[in-house]
Each structure stands twice: as structure tokens, then as C-alpha cells.
Amino acid sequence: MTGHMAQDRAPLLASPPRAATHDLLTWALTAHPDALMPSAFNLNGVVLIDLAVRAGYHGEVVFVDTGYHFPETLQTRDRLAARYPGLTFVTLNAGATPEDGQTPPDLYARDPDACCAARKVAPLQRYLREKNPSALLNARSRDQATTRADIPVVEHGARIKINPLASWTRPQLEAYAREHSLPVNPLYADGFLSVGCWTCTRAVRPGEDVRAGRWAGQGKTECGLWAGAGKL
């Protein structure tokens, strides 16, 4: 019975919307050759990098170092940079700007919205104002959280956001990562299904949303990059 069930599921896992995703990325890179990809190198992000490279992406992958990242996340970034030499990995160091010097180090505990706004959203917004890309490639998927259930593939707003993984499920992402031996953040195997700053991330418990470990117990689900008044 188990074998049959596994066989029944196999086509689903073996044929996620890869062809459609490739076509979408090919279109996106043609229509928006100046597109940028912000990334925190979670499972979704790593899969998107690989798919984008296969579709011809050779632009920037922009990471905001808030000063609170796990060493494993920084190592994942470095492994990706070694694996994809055709991409330019940009790290915006939020701890190195004069503005950040005015951010109290314990702000994340007192006012996480203000901390994310200063350490994450502002540095990326500054960078995007400089570069002014016509579109962003983003790796969110609908099954990551109920708050992401309606993500469109192409999102209009302050900037066009292209979300090629919107319809991908976690099993499909995991299968893709395994198949291509992608350098997934090792914390993922320990239950950190969405990894942010160490100060604000815990492992996810069985049955919880992928992002339930982010700002757990603080009534906060998004950092502000993709939702809210200051979103990209």
C-alpha cells in the first residue's frame, strides 16, 4: 500500500511546474534584463537561483546582512557564490552604515518592526533606489504561510515582482534541491524551514507553517520587504 501511495505521488513530485517556471523566467529575463534578485538563501531562494541560472540569469543576488545572521546562512551564501560564478553576489552590510550606528542593538527585542525597517528594508531600499531595476525576482511561494496564499506570479506595485515559485510546494522544492544537490542552509535539516536573524528565528514544530519560526509569539510574520507600507 505504501509503495502504491509513493508511486501515486511520484508524478506530482517529479513534475512540479518546472517547464512553466523556466518559460516564465525566460520571459522575465527578456522583458526585464536589469532584474535583480534579493535573497536570504532559504530553500526557496536556493532553488530560484538555480532555476534562474538555467534560464540565463547572470545578474545580482542581493543579500542584506543585518548583523544577526546565523554563520550557516553566511556559509550558504559563500557556497552559492562558489557554485554560480556567473552571478554577482552583493552583500549589503546593515551594520556598516552611519544610520545603523544609531540603531540600538536590542531594538529587535523591543520593536522588531523598527529593527527590520532599519536593518533590512532600508538598506535594500537604498540599494534599489541606486540601481533602479525594472523588476525583482523573488522566491516566495504560496504554501509558505497563510499570509502568502494569494501571491500572484507577476506582482505589480512600487516595482514589478516576478514570483516564479509561487505555485511550488515544499516537497517539490525539496525534491528539486535534492536532485541537483543544491547547497541548502544546513539549519533547514534541523527544522529551521525559514531562516532569518538568529535573534528572531526558532525551529518549526510539526504541523506549523514554514514561517512559524519567524518572530514567534511576537504577532509579526513579515519583515516588511514583501508586505506592508515600505515593501519593495
Residues acting as catalytic residues: 223
Smaller CB distance to ligand SF4: residue 30 or 218?
218
Confirm whether residue 19 is marked as ligand binding: no
Smaller CB distance to ligand SF4: residue 64 or 173?
64
Interacting stretch for ligand SF4, rule CB under 6 A, among 42-50, 73-81, 110-118, 169-177?
A: 110-118
- For residues 49 and 137, what is the distance between their CA atoms, to the nearest angstrom? 10
Contact of 148 with 142, CB cutoff 8 Å: yes
Distance of closest approach, residue 65 Cβ to ligand SF4, in angstroms: 10
* Bridge partners, residue 89, by sequence: 61
Smaller CB distance to ligand SF4: residue 55 or 115?
115
Task: Please provide residue 102's backbone torsions phi and psi, each rounded to the nearest 5 degrees.
Answer: -95, 5
Confirm whether residue 32 is marked as ligand binding: no
Confirm whether residue 115 is marked as ligand binding: yes
What residues contact residue 212 under an 8 Å CB cut-off, 6+ apart?
145, 204, 205
Is residue 204 involved in binding ligand SF4 (CB under 6 A)?
no
Interacting stretch for ligand SF4, rule CB under 6 A, among 3-11, 30-38, 55-63, 192-200?
A: 192-200
Is residue 200 involved in binding ligand SF4 (CB under 6 A)?
yes
Size of the residue set binding ligand SF4 (CB under 6 A): 13
Interacting stretch for ligand SF4, rule CB under 6 A, among 83-91, 116-124, 149-157, 205-213?
A: 116-124
Is residue 68 involved in binding ligand SF4 (CB under 6 A)?
yes
Q: Which of 116, 136, 173, 204 binds ligand SF4 (CB under 6 A)?
A: 116
Is residue 221 involved in binding ligand SF4 (CB under 6 A)?
no
- For residues 6 and 101, what is the distance between their CA atoms, to the nearest angstrom? 54
Smaller CB distance to ligand SF4: residue 32 or 140?
140
Confirm whether residue 200 is marked as ligand binding: yes
Annotated binding-site ranges for [4Fe-4S] cluster? 115-116, 197, 200
Q: Which residues bind ligand SF4 (CB under 6 A)?
A: 66, 68, 108, 112, 115-116, 119-120, 196-197, 199-200, 223
